[in-house]
Amino acid sequence: MQIILFGAPGVGKGTQAKILSSKFHIPHISTGDILRTAISKQTPLGKEVKEIVDRGDLVPDEMMGKLLEEALHDEKTKHGFILDGFPRTIQQAEILDKVLEHLSFPAKPTVIYLTSDDEVIVKRLSKRRTCSACGNIVNLNYLDDPTTCPYCGSKNTFVKRKDDEEDVIRNRLKVYHNTTAPVIGYYKDHAKVIEINGILPVEDVTEEILKKLS
């Protein structure tokens, strides 16, 4: 099973990818997570992309293509994968097609397209935090106690991503509409696309995905 989770930043691709990854026992590949790890470890890639990611712009396709190829070469992806955050341009979609062909993946990926509303996204992302102890993502709007991680119980461990500041969120949305959204047109011609309202509660989105996948 090869799944691409597609949609605007903050629509819930990462959350759904984690759920589907544990349900289907296939790896979750988040290009944003790979870049953030490289940035925090200050690797050569991390140093090169830091400013681009902090601004909310896109890392060049050629670099992303190499990164994707490396990620998909992993033995663990043999039985499938869930891609979150790739492709973000038509050129990346073409690169993905070539890499899948080169690695002899049998079927075309299924694209799960989570639709959204920009103002809801801005509200959501400005309250999004990551627990630095367990790595889970939370939204402060939905926590009874905004100082305690509901997953691991740690206190005061929430950190805000630099690119979740409002001006950067708005730039990421602009980049999404101008450059990434057209990719869905590419897939409507090339693959199976499942469209779901990503603004619904998390459990409802998962239920819809599972229903439509089966």
Q: State in angstroms the smallest separation of the CB of 33 from ligand AMP.
A: 7
Q: Is 141 helix (H, G, I), strand (E, B) or coil?
A: helix
- Pairwise CA distance, residues 161 & 166, whole Å: 11
Catalytic residues: 13, 88, 128, 161, 172
Maximum pairwise Cα distance, the chain = 49
Would you tell me which residues interact with ligand AMP (CB under 6 A)?
A: 9, 31-32, 35, 52-53, 56-59, 64, 85-86, 88, 92, 163, 172
Q: State in angstroms the smallest separation of the CB of 69 from ligand AMP.
A: 13
Q: Dig out the tokens for 94 from the structure.
A: 């073409």
Tell me, rounded to whole angstroms, the distance of Cα 98 from its chain centroid: 21
| 85 vs 109 by CB, closer to ligand AMP | 85
Q: State in angstroms the smallest separation of the CB of 22 from ligand AMP.
A: 19
Residue of minimal Cβ distance to ligand AMP: 32
CA distances from 155 to 33, 125, 149, 152 (A): 23, 21, 6, 9
